[in-house]
Amino acid sequence: MKDPLLHIQMVIVSMAVICSSESITNLHPVILIPGSGGNQLEARLTSKYKPSSLLCNRWFSPRKDNEGWFRLWFDPSVLLGPFTKCFSERMMIYYDSDKDDYDNAPGVETRVPHFGSTQALRFLDPHLKYITTYMEPLVKSLEEIGYVDGINLFGAPYDFRYGLAAEGHPSHVASKFLTQLKNLIETASNSNEGKPIILLSHSLGGLFVLQLLIRNPISWRQKYIKHFIALSTPWGGTVEEMLTFASGNALGVPLVNPLLVREEQRSCSSNLWLMPSPQVFNTTKPLVITPNASYSANDIAQFLEDIGFPQGVKPYKSRILPLVEKLVAPEVPITCIIGTGVKTPETLLYGECGFDKRPEVVYDNGDGTVNMVSLLAVENAWANDKSQSLKVIKLPGVSHTSILKDDLALDLIIGEICSINSQFSSY
Ligand SMILES: *[C@@H]1O[C@H](CO)[C@@H](O)[C@H](O)[C@H]1NC(C)=O
Ligand SMILES: *[C@@H]1O[C@H](CO)[C@@H](O)[C@H](O)[C@H]1NC(C)=O
């Protein structure tokens, strides 16, 4: 019997040979686009800030620079109960239905440091490297084959609390990010003899990249994009997101009470974007079951109402549903690399005690966070599309985030980059 892992390893070995025979100066620039929570975020509190308690007063904020900026994400003080609440109220964003757009909490200014560099995505807190490592192992692997930060390797961090909205709806923060990313792509290409770019995203970053591509003309994509490598992309959302909205998600941090961060998590428009899409999930299959009702991907609006978040209904219906209506093929070559065979929430069973109580979770296949049907959604959607080149690589036993540090996964990602670099440009 053929061992699939052995086969993958042999492919990697042959790719490494191809890569080392390439001159370093021939590398196509790579831009990294992180997932939700995958880069640092800074905040500054102004006199308009109204803390809910003395503890959250702006004078008690963490280490600040002389202009008052401090790291909002990630700061380990969120792990301590009383400070979790301060963190949560500073992270909240608010939907203004007159403007049809989202804003920060009053008196909270935010900014994304180090745009253009990989610096803000390597670690979420540079003082706590070990526990907040994010893209560091991937960046290191890229450096080993000749990539250099700021020369042919770039990072596109963003304010991951804000998602995009369907055409015709403003989304000032996320739209500004798309413009910045577009400019970065053009600058990086121009400073590398006009070579087109390899975009390398993780998780939510992939949804932003797809939107960037389809919102720009095909001539632009052909000029500037060599390849799009999408790691662990939740193309059709996740069932886990319904758990986050209903009961909060402590993100695996044992000391955090999920109910303390639930309100903040519900407020983020990027989270609403990650609800299971009715285009991708089987709409006759219940994803959440309670003694009173059951909810499929077709019932997300009702679900938001019933969990006690009716504010989410209007933006969900008007801004998200039309955004996820169709997975448009961008017609640039794409490689999806995904983990599989990790138990992933598939159905949530709530009892009589309501949504504040953790549900019983039924698991199925996925990467631990994203369901199989969502990871494979573009393969299904573009199966008959001859103009879309798509390759899907599955990594058994690799989880949603371990794809960024697992040795075999990293070798495979680097192998893919080497192979792309050794292809003659088709443009
Ligand atoms: C969709 O889900 C229903 C209910 O679980 C199931 O009977 C049906 O076979 C599923 N359809 C597909 C295409 O998987
Ligand atoms: C079901 O309905 C009852 C009565 O309206 C309510 O108290 C309970 O919280 C509901 N349970 C869930 C899980 O929605």
Query: For position 55, what pLDDT does the model report?
Result: 82
CA distance 351 to 334: 42
pTM strictly above 0.85? yes
The average confidence (pLDDT) of the chain is 92
Predicted confidence band at 17 (pLDDT cuts at 50, 70, 90)? very low
pLDDT at residue number 161: 97
Task: Using the predicted structure, report yes or no on whether residue 5 has a pLDDT greater than 50.
Answer: no
Two tokens at 274? 């990650």
| pLDDT reported for residue 254 | 64
pLDDT interval class at 156 (50, 70, 90): very high
Q: Where on the phi/psi map is residue 116: left (φ > 0), alpha (ψ -120 to 50), or beta?
A: left
State the distance from the centre of ligand 2 to the C-alpha of 264, rounded, in angstroms: 23
What is the spatial distance between Cα 206 and Cα 31, in angstroms, rounded to a whole number? 12
Report pLDDT digits (tens) over 290-349: 999 999 999 999 999 999 999 999 999 999 999 999 999 999 999 999 999 999 999 999
**Domains in the chain, CATH or no CATH each:** 4-38+114-422 (3.40.50.1820)
Active site residue 98: no
Lowest mean pLDDT among 122-126, 286-290, 390-394: 122-126
Q: Take atom 4 of ligand 1 and give the residue whose Cα is closest.
A: 285
Q: Which of 101, 159, 299, 367 is catalytic?
A: 367
Q: Tell me, in angstroms, the distance from the centre of ligand 2 to residue 353's CA.
A: 7
pLDDT 10s digits, 384-422: 999 999 999 999 999 999 999 999 999 999 999 999 998
Q: Is 114 a catalytic residue?
A: no
Q: Which has the closest alpha carbon to 368: 345, 348, 349?
A: 345
